[in-house]
């Protein structure tokens, strides 16, 4: 009795599987043979792979439409948001414009300015001193506790929304918390920070190297994030499911090339 109910339910549910219709069409134009040749199996495999790619694209597009964003899902690729998020987690985003963060107004434009040109962090984010034991310069990065923007001080908290934006400086999507929302004369911008990182993403402290070139320390992105460049805010987390992608495209290539993967953490 129970087995009959299970089989009946299974028969009904199969019509929710898009591959059921792929199978029907495939068999209409390419009937199954008792002893299929290699060519027959290759045709079946190609049809299923192409169908899977099409279905994945359609699902991604539908989710993007429903969640009002061009990037409805992203994979956490570092440990910068531990313990809120872990490397390999899949994050579902919603394209919300009303991002929660502490707000401050500035009567100046900041779109093309670096953070140190309009803001300051307390305590001093980067300290350089001579190690008496080695005589070498040591650089210490301090935990950001407070920001000062336009004469107004803002405590660094974990109360803001977690958002996703693309950093041209880092060359990847960043999933970090919004800690300040700045209403400037040229638009609305955000300062962001990884919960596990000591400094904010925009803390680009300039130093000159031995070749006379300017480098930036503790820097993830050079500018405050414009509101219209935010891909969405995190609304749901699927733990560790993205590890498969990270192993295939990040970890295994790094191991085979003999490079160390500084982002590796936990399972992936």
Q: What is the pLDDT of residues 140-189, one digit of tens each?
A: 778 999 999 988 999 999 999 999 999 998 888 999 999 999 999 999 99
Judgement on whether residues 99 and 61 belong to the same structural domain of the protein: no
Confidence band for 5, pLDDT divided at 50, 70 and 90: low
Q: Which residue has the higher pLDDT, 263 or 17?
A: 263
Q: Answer with the one of 11, 32, 66 that is the final residue of a domain.
A: 66
For residue 234, CA distances in Å to 22, 89, 92, 100, 250 come to 34, 12, 6, 12, 23
256 found inside a domain: no
6 found inside a domain: yes
Predicted local distance difference test score (pLDDT) of residue 126: 74
The DSSP 8-state label assigned to residue 249 in this structure reads I
84 found inside a domain: no
Judgement on whether residues 61 and 97 belong to the same structural domain of the protein: no
Judgement on whether residues 166 and 41 belong to the same structural domain of the protein: no
109 found inside a domain: yes
Distance of CA 152 to the CA centre of its chain: 30
Judgement on whether residues 22 and 121 belong to the same structural domain of the protein: no
Judgement on whether residues 19 and 150 belong to the same structural domain of the protein: no
Judgement on whether residues 49 and 106 belong to the same structural domain of the protein: no
Judgement on whether residues 125 and 170 belong to the same structural domain of the protein: yes
Q: Give the mean pLDDT of 5-33.
A: 71
Q: Which residue has the higher pLDDT, 43 or 206?
A: 43
Question: Looking at the predicted structure, is the pLDDT value of residue 226 above 90?
Answer: yes
Question: Looking at the predicted structure, is the pLDDT value of residue 223 above 90?
Answer: yes
257 found inside a domain: no
Judgement on whether residues 99 and 230 belong to the same structural domain of the protein: yes
Confidence band for 230, pLDDT divided at 50, 70 and 90: very high
For the stretch 29-33, contacts whose Cβ atoms lie closer than 8 Å and that sit 24 or more positions apart, written own/partner, are none
Question: How many percent of the chain have pLDDT more than 90?
Answer: 43
Judgement on whether residues 33 and 164 belong to the same structural domain of the protein: no
CB 238 within 8 A of CB 90: yes
255 found inside a domain: no
Question: Looking at the predicted structure, is the pLDDT value of residue 212 above 60?
Answer: no
Judgement on whether residues 113 and 53 belong to the same structural domain of the protein: no
Predicted local distance difference test score (pLDDT) of residue 10: 64
Judgement on whether residues 39 and 102 belong to the same structural domain of the protein: no
Judgement on whether residues 142 and 14 belong to the same structural domain of the protein: no
Q: How many domains does the chain have?
A: 2
Confidence band for 8, pLDDT divided at 50, 70 and 90: low
Look up the domain containing 182 and give its range.
92-238
């Amino acid at each position: 009795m129970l087995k009959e109910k299970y089989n009946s339910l299974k028969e009904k549910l199969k019509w929710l599987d898009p591959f059921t219709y792929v199978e029907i069409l495939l068999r209409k134009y390419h009937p199954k043979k008792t002893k299929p040749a290699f060519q027959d199996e290759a045709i079946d495999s190609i049809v299923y792979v192409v169908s899977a790619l099409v279905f994945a694209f359609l699902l991604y597009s539908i989710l993007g439409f429903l969640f009002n964003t061009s990037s409805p899902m992203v994979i956490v690729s570092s440990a910068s948001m531990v313990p809120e998020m872990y490397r390999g987690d899949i994050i579902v985003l919603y394209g919300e414009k009303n991002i929660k963060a502490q707000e401050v107004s500035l009567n100046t434009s900041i779109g093309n300015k670096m953070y140190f040109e309009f803001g300051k962090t307390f305590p001093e984010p980067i300290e350089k001193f001579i190690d008496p034991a080695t005589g070498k310069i040591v650089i210490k990065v301090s935990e950001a506790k407070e920001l000062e923007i336009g004469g107004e001080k803002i405590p660094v908290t974990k109360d803001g929304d977690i958002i996703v934006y693309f950093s041209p400086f880092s060359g990847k999507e960043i999933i970090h918390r919004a800690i300040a929302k700045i209403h400037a004369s040229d638009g609305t911008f955000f300062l962001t920070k990884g919960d596990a990182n000591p400094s904010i993403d925009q803390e680009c402290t300039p130093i000159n190297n031995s070749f006379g070139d300017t480098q930036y320390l503790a820097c993830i992105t050079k500018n405050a994030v414009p509101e219209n460049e935010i891909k969405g805010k995190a609304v749901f987390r699927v733990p560790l499911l993205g590890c498969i992608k990270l192993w295939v495209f990040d970890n295994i290539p790094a191991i085979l090339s003999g490079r160390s993967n500084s982002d590796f953490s936990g399972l992936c």
